[in-house]
């Protein structure tokens, strides 16, 4: 998840 | 998913519900900034471009995210429709004067400078994060211009502010529990966004303790 920029959040 | 993230999202949904409830029950959108709602529409439609590429049933989390994204997009579009059409005559256009093109242009420039990767998708995503941080400003200005705030409108803004404050708790949780690093862009913007509410929170809590309507100086 690291570095993906928070795409699994809203 | 942790309790902070879930509570944050619930508050976000509650805030949208309160906003629509206010407009519907009072048959008026007085005190509601169309410009802020318009900015949220831009934020959601640029942030959630991945709706086109992500399979909702990939996992429970993507399914949850997809439902929420569609809910945020459709509710902000519906709110704009209500303000611009059905309750147009109650819209406080004279006081809703924030120059949002500066916010949009500023966010675009920042996104071109600061982003995770140099791809169109990542730059648009960064733009949405920058814009969300400042999207509440026209609404806060409108409240200051008019002074007295209806209870339900102040609850709406309080829920919206608490939503991002809880996201900070969620990020701290994920930092330690999931060793989630390198999220500086979302963290920085989320913190700025929460700080913008600090002044509002202060007067909101004061008004709640005194059992009075919120009055901004």
- Selecting from B5, B170, B181 the residue whose C-beta is nearest the C-beta of A2 gives B181
* pLDDT surpasses 70 at B147: yes
Q: B167 or B216: whose pLDDT is higher?
A: B167
Q: Per the CB < 8 Å rule, is B182 touching A2? A: yes
pLDDT of residue A4: 57
pLDDT of residue B203: 93
pLDDT in tens, B99-129: 999 999 999 999 999 999 999 999 999 999 9
- Residue in B closest to A9 by C-alpha: B65
- Selecting from B12, B65, B116 the residue whose C-beta is nearest the C-beta of A5 gives B116
pLDDT of residue B217: 79
* pLDDT surpasses 90 at B181: no
* pLDDT surpasses 80 at B169: yes
Mean residue pLDDT across chain B: 95
* pLDDT surpasses 50 at B94: yes
CA B31-B37-B40 angle, to 5 degrees, is 145
pLDDT in tens, B35-57: 999 999 999 999 999 999 999 99
Nearest CA of chain A to the CA of B88: how many Å? Answer: 30
Cα separation, B126 vs B111, in Å, equals: 5
Q: How confident is the model at residue B17 (pLDDT cuts 50, 70, 90)?
A: very high
For residue B64, report the phi and psi dihedrals to the nearest 5 degrees: -60, -50
Closest CA to B37 of B72, B10, B89: B72
Q: Per the CB < 8 Å rule, is A10 touching B72? A: yes
Which residues in chain A are contacts of B43 at CB distance < 8 A? none
For residue B53, what are its two tokens?
Answer: 């590429």
Q: B168 or B211: whose pLDDT is higher?
A: B168
Mean pLDDT of B65-81: 97
- Residue in A closest to B175 by C-alpha: A2
- Give the residue carrying structure tokens 């049933």: B57
Q: Per the CB < 8 Å rule, is B61 touching A8? A: yes
Which residues in chain B are contacts of A9 at CB distance < 8 A? 5, 167, 170, 186
CA B150-B152-B157 angle, to 5 degrees, is 95
Cα separation, B209 vs B212, in Å, equals: 8
* pLDDT surpasses 80 at A3: no
Percentage of chain B modeled with pLDDT above 70:
100
For residue B94, report the phi and psi dihedrals to the nearest 5 degrees: -65, -35
Task: Count Cβ atoms within 10 A of the Cβ of residue B67 and give its class: 0-12 exposed, 13-18 middle, 19 or more buried.
Answer: exposed
Identify whether the C-beta of residue B188 lies closer than 8 Å to the C-beta of residue B130. Answer: no
pLDDT of residue A5: 58
* pLDDT surpasses 50 at A1: no
A-B contacts (CB, under 8 Å): 34
Mean pLDDT of B184-211: 95
Report how far apart, in Å, the C-alpha atoms of B136 and of each of B79, B97, B123, B133, B178 are: 15, 13, 21, 8, 31
Which residues in chain B are contacts of A10 at CB distance < 8 A? 9, 12, 65, 68-69, 72
Mean pLDDT of B189-196: 97
**Secondary structure (DSSP) of chain B:** --HHHHHHHHHHHHHHHHHHHHHHHHT--TT--HHHHHHHHHHHHHHGGGGGTS-GGGSHHHHHHHHHHHHHHHHHHHHHHIIIIITGGG--TTT----HHHHHHHHHHHHHHS-SSSSHHHHHHHHHHHHHHHTTHHHHHHHHHH-EE-HHHHHHHHHHHHHHHHHHHHHHHHHHHS-----HHHHHHHHHHHHHTHHHHHHHHHHHHTT--EE--
Percentage of chain B modeled with pLDDT above 90:
92
Q: How confident is the model at residue A2 (pLDDT cuts 50, 70, 90)?
A: very low
């Amino acid at each position: 998840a690291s570095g993906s920029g928070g795409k699994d959040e809203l | 998913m942790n309790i902070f993230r879930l509570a944050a999202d619930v508050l976000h949904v509650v805030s949208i519900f309160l906003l629509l409830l206010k407009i519907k029950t009072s048959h008026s959108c007085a005190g509601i900034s169309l410009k802020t709602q318009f900015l949220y529409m831009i934020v959601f439609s640029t942030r959630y471009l991945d709706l086109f590429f992500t399979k909702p049933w990939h996992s429970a989390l993507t399914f949850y995210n997809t439902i929420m994204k569609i809910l945020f997009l459709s509710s902000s579009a519906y709110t704009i429709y209500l303000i611009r059409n059905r309750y147009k005559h109650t819209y406080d256009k004279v006081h809703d004067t924030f120059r949002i093109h500066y916010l949009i242009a500023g966010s675009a420039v920042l996104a071109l400078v600061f982003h995770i990767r140099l791809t169109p998708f990542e730059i648009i995503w960064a733009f949405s994060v920058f814009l969300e941080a400042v999207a509440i400003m026209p609404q806060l200005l409108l409240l200051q211009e008019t002074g007295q705030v209806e209870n339900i409108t102040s609850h709406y803004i309080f829920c919206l502010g608490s939503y991002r404050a809880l996201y900070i708790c969620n990020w701290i949780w994920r930092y330690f529990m999931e060793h989630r690093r390198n999220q500086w862009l979302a963290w920085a913007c989320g913190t700025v966004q929460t700080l913008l509410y600090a002044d509002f929170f202060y007067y909101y809590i004061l008004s709640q303790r005194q059992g009075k309507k919120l009055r901004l100086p």
